[in-house]
Structure 1
Amino acid sequence: MQDIERFIRGFSRFQQRFMSEPVVRASLRDGQHPSTLVIGCCDARVDPALLTGCDPGDIFVVRNIANLVPPCTADASAGVSSAIEFAVCGLEVARVVVLGHARCGGIRALMSGQRVTEETDFVARWMRIAEPVRAEVLRALPHKHDDARCRAAEQASILHSLDNLMTYPWLRRRVEAGKVALHGWYFDIGTGELLAYSPRKQEFLNLVQPLDAAA
């Protein structure tokens, strides 16, 4: 009950901040016009709106285990694919950000092969999308510690999702026409830094420095 009461108090603060202003309330009521689609992880520590300081209506968010994008196939996950389709074709967002993070439970499950439950195993089935990432990391880093492999897989899975985004024909056309930009971001929970993938340098570079460096 303590959590529920905290949620209700939190909603009251939201109501006072965003709903008490008639102009803001009208803008929220009349529709959404986000400029950015963020594909993030379900992890409770990695809320895209909180991380980026966004207000309601600023970003369109899709969250799933390990921030994965399935390729455009007949049997692709309708939940994720339909959200991408709506954001790109319906809302006409200008950019898509795949937001991955350190210490991702989905990636750790992928790399270890451990099952979450013996009854259904939905997580393992979903993580098959990133099986090429697992194979490549194991091939490239055969002697590395599990933590190093997981970090490599967390970042490689972002790139894998960016590649999968380009299999959607309507998105590819917009990217090639310069109407939509794709970004791969990585949030390191341990250091507090935010990195972005640089296609030119083919590596993740700092967008926001670690806390210690900033201090």
Structure 2
Amino acid sequence: MNILDSMLERNKEFAAQQIAAGTLMPSLPKAMPNVRATIIGCADMRVDPVHILGIKPGEAVVIRNIGGRITPVLLEELGLLGRIGEVAKEAPGGGGEFHLVVFQHTDCGITRLAGDPAKLAHYFQIPEGEVNSKSVTDPRAAVAGDVALLRTIPGLPGKWLLSGLVYDVATGLVEVVVPPAPIRAA
């Protein structure tokens, strides 16, 4: 049995358990009925925000990329999600409180690229001379920088709460680096 076969078997077990428990989500009538957060996290397989934060189906949109960083591609994805909500006439958070969370971690693989500024410049779509501003070796500084960057994006609703977290892969604990606050003051 190869890895795909194994995953498909586990999926059958998952589906059977969900059906038996009555928790399998049917086709939802709205694009974002229960979403209360969007979490921007790292693609690292050890750092799944759904598992670490106990997120239930429908509670959050999780977008993962290398380093859990704010990149031009990620900003496009946020814009498309916003447009989906507009077309569906469904606001994230159902008009209530909504959180945008930057979720990074210790021992991130992106730190191994610190000596390859050309690769990082290409990834972040910035000039090579600006790579140091992206702080890949310090997750706390990276979170703070990415939160600050998100505060400058005029298309993000000012009333959304924005925060920054760092997960420690050695302890399993999450540290609040930037406490939740509105993206922009009212």
Tell me which moved more, 128-137 or 189-198.
128-137
1:85 equivalenced with 2:79 (yes/no): yes
Q: 1:107 aligns with which of 105, 108, 111?
A: 111
Over 3 Å counting, the alpha-carbon distance change for 1:9 and 1:55 in structure 2 is: farther
Report the 3-state secondary structure (helix = DSSP H, G, I; strand = E; otherwise coil) of the residue aligned with 1:112.
coil
1:14 Cα deviation after fit: 2.3
Q: 2: distance between equivalents of 1:6 and 1:167?
A: 44
Hey, which of these two has a bigger chunk of helix by percent?
A: 1
Aligned to 1:134: 132
CA RMSD in angstroms, aligned pairs only: 3.0
1:51 equivalenced with 2:52 (yes/no): yes
Is the Cα contact below 8 Å between 1:39 and 1:97 reproduced in 2? yes
Q: 2: distance between equivalents of 1:135 and 1:95?
A: 25
Q: 1:161 aligns with which of 135, 141, 146?
A: 146
1:52 Cα deviation after fit: 1.5
Over 3 Å counting, the alpha-carbon distance change for 1:154 and 1:190 in structure 2 is: same
1:182 equivalenced with 2:176 (yes/no): no
Over 3 Å counting, the alpha-carbon distance change for 1:163 and 1:132 in structure 2 is: farther
Over 3 Å counting, the alpha-carbon distance change for 1:57 and 1:199 in structure 2 is: closer
Q: 1: distance between equivalents of 2:56 and 2:13?
A: 13
| Unaligned stretches of 5+ residues in structure 1 | 71-75, 116-120, 138-148, 201-215
1:18 Cα deviation after fit: 3.0
How many residue pairs were aligned? 167
Instruction: Please give the per-residue CA displacement for 1:150-204, whole angstroms capped at 9, x wherever unaligned.
Output: 3xx2221111111121222121xx33xxx3100101001012221011469xxxx
| Unaligned stretches of 5+ residues in structure 2 | 86-90, 181-186
Report the 3-state secondary structure (helix = DSSP H, G, I; strand = E; otherwise coil) of the residue aligned with 1:185.
strand
Which amino acid in 1 is paired with 2:112?
R
Q: 2: distance between equivalents of 1:87 and 1:19?
A: 29
Q: 2: distance between equivalents of 1:131 and 1:183?
A: 28
How many percent identity over aligned positions? 23
Is the Cα contact below 8 Å between 2:42 and 2:67 reproduced in 1? yes
Over 3 Å counting, the alpha-carbon distance change for 1:86 and 1:198 in structure 2 is: same
